[in-house]
Amino acid sequence: MARADSGAIRGGQAVPDLLIAGAGVAGLWLAVKAARAGLSVMLVERGNPGGGASGGFLGALMPHNPERWNAKKDFQFRALVDLEAEITRLEAETGQFCAYRRVGRLLPLTTERARKAALEQVPEARMNWGAGYDFDVNHASDHTRWPDILHTSHGVVRETLSARISPTGLIGALLARLAVMPGIELRFGTAVEDVSPHHRMARLTDGSSVSFGHIALANGVDAFPLIARAAGLPETSLGSAVKGQAALLDAKVDPGLPLVYDDGVYVIAHQNGHVAVGSTSERDFEDAHGTDERLEHVVARARKLCPLIKHAAVIRRWAGLRPRAVGRDPMLGPVPGAPAVLAMAGGFKISFGIAHRMADCLIAGITGIDGPETPQSFSIEWHAAKAARSSTAT
C-alpha cells in the first residue's frame, strides 16, 4: 500500500492519513502506532473509549497450546513476548500504570489422558517457545487452594509465558499517550456508518462525511458488515457477536498468583488483590449487556476451582459483545478490491495480547516499512473462503 500524503487537503478539509473506526484496545494501539510513524489520524468512537468488548476486566494474556505450531500461534507468541517492552515504553511515556505482570499460568489435570497429552506438549513448548519460558507438568500446585487439590488429581501444567494486565489501565494509558501526540483528532459520540472505498470517503452517524487516505475498521462487532460490504460480500458473512460475562471479586489475594484456567473458566489475580473470573461464550442471547444465571454458574465453578475466593464478595459484574470472525482467527489486512480499507477485527478473546502487533502489520502496509508478517489465516480472503464453504455446507 502506498502512504497517503500527510496533511492532504480535499474539498477544503484536511484529510487524515488514517481514519480509525473504534477506540477499543485495537483502535487505540493502532492510533498510537500510526502517530509514532508520522501519520495523521482521526479516531472515531460511538461511545466511550474501551466501552465495548475492551471494557471488561479479565486481562488474561495467554498463549495457544504449543503443539501443532503454525503462523497464527507464532504471531501470538511473539506478540506476548514483545508486549512487556511495549507496556514499559507506554508507562514511561505517560506515567500511567497498566498493572502488567508475567505471572504464568496453571492448568489443572484431572485425568490420566489429560496428563499424558500435557507431557507430550512439553518438548513442543521447549522447541517453539524457546528456553526463556517453562512448560512443565508437576504433581501439584505450589499454591495452597490455588487451584484446589481436587482439581489436580493428575497434576498441573505450569507455564511461565502467560501474563495479565489491567484492561482499564491499558486503555487509560493509550488515551493519555494520544492526548499529547501531534496529528491526532479524537471524535467520540459518532461512528462510521458506511464506507465508499473508491471515493475514500466515510459517512458518520452524526451526518458528517470524512475523506481518508486509509480507513481501519477496528470497531468490534460493527466492523463485520462494513468489511463485508467493502468486499462485496453479504453483510452477515464474515463474523458475529459472542456474548461474554465476567465478575470481579474482592478476594484480597496475592497479586503474584498465576492465572488458573480450567475448561473455559478463568481465575485471575490482579494488582489490588481483586480476582477476575469468567467467562461465558454465548452464541445465543437476548440481553447483550445484562448478566444472568450463566455468570453465577461461572462464579460458582471458579469458587470450587480456587477455594481462596470461596467467600470473596462480588463487587462488579460485566457483560458485553465480543467479535468472532467466521474463521475464528482475527481479521487483519486490506479488503480485496478496496486496498484503502483495512480490517482489524475479530480478535475475540486474545485482542489485548496481540493488538499492538496487529497495529504494526497495518502501519507497515501503509508506510512501506518492514513489519511483522500477517498470517494467511488472518486475511480477508481466507475468511471469505471460510464463509463460502460454510454457506455451501448449509
- The answer to whether residue 177 is domain-embedded is yes
* pLDDT over 50 at 2, yes or no: no
- The answer to whether residue 291 is domain-embedded is yes
Instruction: Report pLDDT digits (tens) over 276-293.
Output: 999 899 999 999 999 999
CATH, residue 376:
3.50.50.60
Q: How far is CA 72 from CA 63, 69, 294, in A?
A: 11, 8, 31
Q: How far is CA 38 from CA 206, 220, 352, in A?
A: 28, 25, 24
Instruction: Report pLDDT digits (tens) over 29-86.
Output: 999 999 999 999 999 999 999 988 899 999 999 999 999 999 999 999 999 999 999 9
Instruction: Report pLDDT digits (tens) over 372-387.
Output: 999 999 999 999 998 8
The answer on 318 and 257 residing in a single domain is: yes
- The answer to whether residue 357 is domain-embedded is yes
- The answer to whether residue 375 is domain-embedded is yes
Instruction: Report pLDDT digits (tens) over 241-280.
Output: 999 999 999 999 999 999 999 999 999 999 999 999 998 9
Sheet harboring 214-217: ordered strands across?
A: 184-188, 41-45, 18-21, 214-217, 338-345, 331-335
- The answer to whether residue 140 is domain-embedded is yes
The answer on 173 and 43 residing in a single domain is: yes
Residues 133-140: what's their mean pLDDT? 94
Half-sphere CA count of 356, side-chain side, radius 13 A: 20
pLDDT at 10: 60
pLDDT at 87: 98
* pLDDT over 90 at 189, yes or no: yes
Q: How far apart are CA 355 and CA 67, in angstroms?
A: 23
Domain that holds residue 369: 9-55+169-238+327-393
pLDDT at 241: 94
The answer on 174 and 300 residing in a single domain is: no
The answer on 279 and 176 residing in a single domain is: no
pLDDT at 1: 35
Instruction: Tell me how many domains the chain contains.
Output: 3
DSSP secondary structure letter of residue 33: H
pLDDT at 154: 94
The answer on 386 and 335 residing in a single domain is: yes
The answer on 204 and 220 residing in a single domain is: yes
